[in-house]
Amino acid sequence: KAGVTQTPRYLIKTRGQQVTLSCSPISGHRSVSWYQQTPGQGLQFLFEYFSETQRNKGNFPGRFSGRQFSNSRSEMNVSTLELGDSALYLCASSLGLSAGLEETQYFGPGTRLLVL
């Protein structure tokens, strides 16, 4: 079974620009979560999508948005980029079953974003 894929793997943008990152989950997985990883901050949760709906959201500004398509693929968009947005962006997929059931998230390799 193919793993989680993310494109592009590396990206360089300048302040003020916007960026769109893509994530394809493991086949059969309906939940996709996005995380930002920066040195010393660990993985900070951005949001989770399930069946094309945002189900959970972390504490990030509105410049960070996402969506999910009917095939469970997800995109994340960051508008008006700031220097502090430079990070590794990871997506993870899981079955997304009902709350209370133990699930494991599987991660993609990440997209390394550098904002100049």
Partner 1 sequence: DQQVKQNSPSLSVQEGRISILNCDYTNSMFDYFLWYKKYPAEGPTFLISISSIKDKNEDGRFTVFLNKSAKHLSLHIVPSQPGDSAVYFCAASPNTGNQFYFGTGTSLTVIP
Residues at the contact surface with partner 1, assessed by CB under 8 A: 4, 6, 31, 33, 35, 40-45, 48, 50, 55-56, 90, 92, 94, 96-97, 99-100, 102-110
Contact 81, 13 (CB under 8 A): yes
Q: What CA–CA distance (Å, rounded) separates 75 from 7?
A: 10
**Nearer CB in complex with partner 1: 78/90:** 90
d(CA 72, CA 26): 9
* Least CB distance to partner 1 at residue 42 (A): 4
Shortest distance, position 28 Cβ to partner 1, whole Å? 15
Smallest separation, CB 100 to partner 1 (Å): 5
DSSP label of 26: P
